[in-house]
């Protein structure tokens, strides 16, 4: 991690480049997202951190690297425009996946759950501009709109069932 801290914006590094400095064996982000959901032995898991494997998330690690090196947050890493697991989860929840102003959402005719970036705050006064636009668009289309951390949804899709099933 000490090397990542020295790879600042003046060196033109991205979060992924900083991560590659910190973890030389790390494969490319786009490629890695196809095989690794949150963490694996190829990115963050080791024997030494075995007790924390369930908490490790390479996307969140890269987000934090970007922020600590003064770079803008790449929200698309955590907010995919399309992903098979979101489609499957929506189907299992008798709902539909959609994208609202760049933010993935799970919707029924009345209810909408916007799947937000793990580092976005949930209080309206602190909404990210993209988050605010998505909320406004969702409120124009659905009776009830709720925000839910996409990382929490990834780990436990059933967590939004109660909200989606309201009529
Ligand atoms: Zn991995």
Distance 109 CA to ligand 1 centre (A): 36
SS3 of 96, please? strand
Residue 5 Cα to ligand 1 midpoint, Å, equals 21
- 158: number of Cβ within 10 Å: 10
Contact 104, 136 (CB under 8 A): no
Lowest pLDDT segment from 59-68, 97-106, 137-146, 152-161 = 59-68
CA 21 to ligand 1 center in whole angstroms: 16
pLDDT, tens digit, for every residue of 87-128?
999 999 999 999 999 999 999 999 999 999 999 999 999 999
Separation of 116 CA from ligand 1 center, angstroms? 22
Q: Sorting pLDDT into bands at 50, 70 and 90, what band is 84?
A: confident
Q: Which residue has the tokens 């090397």?
A: 3
CA 160 to ligand 1 centroid distance, Å: 26
How remote is the CA of residue 6 from the centroid of ligand 1, in Å? Answer: 23
Torsion of CA 167, 85, 71, 123, to 10 degrees: 10
Q: Which residue has the higher pLDDT, 8 or 26?
A: 26
| Helical (H) or strand (E) element with 135 | helix 129-141
Specify the pTM.
Answer: 0.77
DSSP assignment letter at 149: E
Residue 22 confidence (pLDDT) above 60:
no
Assigned token pair, 41: 């032995």
- Ligand 1 geometric centre to CA of 54 (Å): 12
From the CA of 51, how far away is ligand 1's center (Å)? 16
């Amino acid at each position: 991690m000490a090397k990542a801290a020295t790879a600042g914006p003046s060196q033109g590094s991205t979060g992924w480049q900083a991560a590659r400095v910190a973890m030389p064996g790390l494969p490319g982000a786009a490629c890695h997202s196809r095989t690794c959901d949150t963490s694996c032995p190829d990115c963050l898991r080791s024997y030494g951190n075995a007790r924390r494997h369930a908490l490790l998330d390479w996307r969140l690690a890269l987000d934090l690297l970007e922020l600590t090196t003064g770079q803008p947050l790449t929200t698309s890493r955590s907010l995919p425009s399309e992903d098979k697991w979101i489609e499957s989860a929506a189907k299992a929840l008798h709902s539909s996946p959609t994208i609202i102003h760049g933010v993935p959402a799970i919707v029924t005719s009345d209810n909408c759950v916007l799947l937000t970036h793990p580092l976005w705050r949930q209080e309206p006064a602190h909404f990210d501009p993209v988050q605010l636009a998505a909320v406004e668009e969702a409120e124009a289309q659905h009776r009830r709109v709720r925000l839910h951390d996409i990382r929490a949804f990834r780990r436990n899709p059933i967590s939004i069932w109660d909200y989606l099933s309201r009529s």
